[in-house]
């Protein structure tokens, strides 16, 4: 298990409230773990937030899930999708809303969330192709893998600007410059933040180790899938064809993920259609600033 540097814990210690999730998340977290609460009870809590309910129903009815019949109630959504996946969607919507108002001096929030959601879609599709059970959890991993960057933008703006200027032409050197200038990476920050939210180890370890997936001790497959998804999305952002990025993956990575290069190219073709639907469904008020 990767361990965040003490400096990361110090950074987050003073801003826990600033980056905490809303009350509905804490309430649902407790209810899901308590067998005394039924699916109906959980649905009633979500239904108290009309905006979240509407967005969750739009997402559940989108091509992201591909159900044949329309799902028009939260209780039905929970029955069909399952508590775990619905919980992941609640976390995702909470996070998108929570970080929606970060100042734009250092980051274009629309571009940030577009890349994050695209990475989530690709990670989920890779997991599905790899026959991973509950592959939707990789959507959440992809969505949140860069969340540490937002914390750094807000808490260490001067150092973050130096990093961004240094990596303007080559994102793959981002972590290297973060270590050199800040002392730790956005993945270190994200892991510690997600751990503080009480989310599963599979999520925070895969995110904490995605830059170096071999370092994951328990959830190595998830870390490799997330690493692949991030690199594929970065390649697309640079205008590279999927085949070019796929050619860079090691045989070891392909063996671990049970994927081949043809699978990866096909996933990127599928991702285009799914991403459009997810972005429309999850965007808070269709805007991020």
Q: What is the DSSP string of 61-91?
A: TSTTT--SS---SHHHHHHHH-HHHHHHHHH
Residues of the chain with CATH 1.10.3210.10: 103-289
Predicted local confidence at residue 100, as pLDDT: 65
pLDDT score recorded for residue 171: 73
Cα atoms found within 13 Å of the Cα of residue 121, Cβ hemisphere only:
27
CA pair distance 99, 19, nearest whole angstrom: 8
For the CA atoms of 135, 188, 255, 65, the dihedral, rounded to the nearest 10 degrees, stands at 10
Closest CA to 92 of 140, 147, 27: 140
Q: What is the pLDDT of residue 282?
A: 65
- Look at residue 289 in the predicted model and tell me its pLDDT: 40
CA dihedral 132, 138, 139, 144 (to 10 degrees): 180
3-state secondary structure 181-250: HCCCCHHHHHHHHHHHCCCCHHHHHHHHCCCCHHHCCCCHHHHHHHHHHHHHHHHHHCCCCHHHHHCCCC
Contact call for residues 1 and 217 (beta carbons, < 8 A): yes
In sequence order, which residues have a C-beta less than 8 Å from that of residue 110 and are 6 or more positions away? 287, 288, 289
Q: Walk along the chain (289 residues) in steps of 10 and give the mean pLDDT of each run.
A: 73 75 81 86 86 80 80 84 77 77 76 91 95 88 93 89 84 88 94 88 95 96 98 93 95 97 94 78 52
Contact predicate 277/67, CB 8 Å: no
Q: Which CATH superfamily is domain 103-289 in?
A: Hypothetical protein af1432 (1.10.3210.10)
Extract the tokens encoding 138.
């990789």
Chain centroid to CA 136: 11
Counting Cβ atoms within 10 Å, is residue 3 exposed (0-12), middle (13-18) or buried (19+)?
Answer: exposed
Which structure tokens are listed for 120?
A: 């989530």
Tell me the C-alpha distance between 250 and 205, whole Å.
Answer: 21
């Amino acid at each position: 298990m990767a361990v965040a540097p003490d400096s990361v814990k110090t950074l987050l210690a003073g801003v826990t409230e600033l980056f905490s999730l809303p009350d509905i998340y804490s309430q649902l977290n407790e209810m899901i773990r308590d067998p005394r609460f039924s699916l109906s009870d959980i649905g009633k809590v979500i239904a108290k937030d009309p905006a979240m309910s509407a967005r969750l129903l739009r997402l559940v009815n989108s091509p992201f899930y591909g159900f044949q019949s329309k799902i028009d109630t939260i209780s039905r959504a929970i029955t069909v999708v399952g508590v775990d996946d619905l919980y992941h969607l609640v976390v995702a919507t909470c996070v998108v809303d929570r970080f929606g108002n970060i100042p734009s001096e250092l980051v274009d929030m629309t571009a940030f969330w577009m890349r994050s959601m695209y990475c989530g879609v690709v990670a989920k599709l890779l997991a599905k192709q790899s026959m991973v059970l509950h592959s939707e959890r990789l959507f959440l991993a992809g969505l949140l893998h860069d969340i540490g960057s937002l914390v750094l933008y807000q808490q260490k703006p001067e150092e973050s600007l130096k990093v961004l200027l240094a990596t303007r032409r080559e994102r793959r050197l981002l972590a290297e410059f973060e270590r050199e200038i800040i002392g730790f990476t956005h993945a270190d920050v994200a892991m510690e933040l997600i751990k503080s939210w009480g989310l599963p180890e599979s999520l925070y370890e895969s995110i904490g180790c995605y830059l170096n997936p071999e370092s994951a001790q328990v959830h190595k497959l998830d870390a490799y899938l997330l690493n692949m998804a991030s690199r594929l999305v970065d390649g697309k952002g640079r205008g590279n064809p999927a085949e070019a990025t796929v050619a860079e993956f090691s045989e070891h990575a392909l063996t671990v993920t049970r994927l081949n290069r043809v699978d990866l190219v096909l996933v990127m073709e599928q991702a285009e259609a799914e991403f459009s639907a997810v972005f429309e469904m999850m965007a808070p008020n269709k805007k991020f600033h």
